[in-house]
Amino acid sequence: MKLPLGIHVGERLSLEQTLWQAELADAGGFESVWVAEGRLARDGIVPAAIIAARTRRVRIGTGVVNNKSRNAALMAVTFKTLDEVAPGRAILGIGAWWEPLASKVGEPLVRPLASMREYITVLQRFFRNEVVDFEGDFVTMRGVRFDSMYRENRPVDVPIYIGAVGPKMLELAGEISDGVHLDFLLPVSYLKGALAAIDGGVAKRADGRAGIDVTQIVACSVDDRDPQDAIDACKAFLTMYLMQQPHIAEHCGVDRELVGRIQEVAGWPATPDDIKRAMHLVPNSLVQNVTACGTTADAFDKLLAYHEAGVRCPIISTLGDKEQTLTALSNAARD
């Protein structure tokens, strides 16, 4: 492909659609497949393992799992196992979860930067095949390592990407991680500040590394016969996010008053009917600023814009007619 591309798969897809997209990615020259885990709809590890077993070339990342619901040692050995299934192809994408879901399951976000630093520090020590002793405020390990009873223990090459949005988490990613996995619904203009924050973190690195990778999920919908239908598919998605994860609004240029009006329509979680009632409040211009939608040319040009602004690999997340969208953008990337 002339433009490096990945695919984002999540609970909006059936498992059949998920596997079809992953196998298309493997055969079609995409570089990566990222498995979502956000809402309490489907976990990210099981689909990632199935994809790893059914593909041969494409890299498999989690986009993203959280650093609260799995003990750090369990997370490390999970990705050690995934690396056994797909050697050299696993990527651990990890984020700090989000509210109100984190509090609803008894894991409220408390000092997310400190907890992320501790968690990743421990993961990296496991992956280096070290004995891990760590006494932190959030993570404690006492003389543990990968078990070597049945086979030779070796370091595991699993890159860690932080799912970050705010400048402090972006800076932390630049300082300690291998990459940043940027979220949906962030405009191209967001990248200037984001990349500056990442670079600020890179300048603090103790390993002398000069930079980290940058990927970004981009919500995409294509319909060359009825571009408005494609725009509406992305509009519904944006409306849902503003209802349920309003922190995204401050980064995508949405007025707080609009967020409030949208949230008046729905409780948590929002229903499809709630979204239909609220989405008329969202203008096309806002949708097109934070997604790649409309005609094939419109959507592909937007992916190029993200790439040219500093995203090495845009990650396509299909909405609307998912097969049509992915096929059209895959073909456009080859031309």
Which pLDDT value is given to residue 152?
A: 85
**What pLDDT sits at residue 332?**
93
Residue 25's nearest CA partner among 88, 87, 89, 81 is 89
* DSSP reduced 3-state for 324: helix
Q: With contact defined as beta carbons under 8 Å apart, do 243 and 270 qualify? A: yes
Angle of helix 256-263 relative to helix 227-244, nearest 10 degrees, comes to 90
At 165, list the tokens: 């949005």
In DSSP notation, 295-322 reads SHHHHHHHHHHHHHHT-SEEEEEE-SSH
pLDDT of residue 135: 98
The distance of Cα 232 from the centroid of its chain, to the nearest Å, equals: 22
| Domains identified in the chain and CATH numbers | 6-220+292-334 (3.20.20.30)
- For the record, the structure tokens of 124 come out as 């990296």
| pLDDT at residue number 136 | 98
Number of H helices, E strands in the chain: 14, 12
**How far is CA 134 from its chain centroid?**
28
Distance CA 255, CA 261 (A): 10
pTM score, two decimals? Answer: 0.94
pLDDT along the chain (335 residues), means of 10: 91 92 95 91 95 98 95 98 97 90 88 98 98 98 91 93 96 98 95 98 96 98 98 95 77 84 79 91 95 98 98 98 96 88
- Amino acid 1: pLDDT: 66
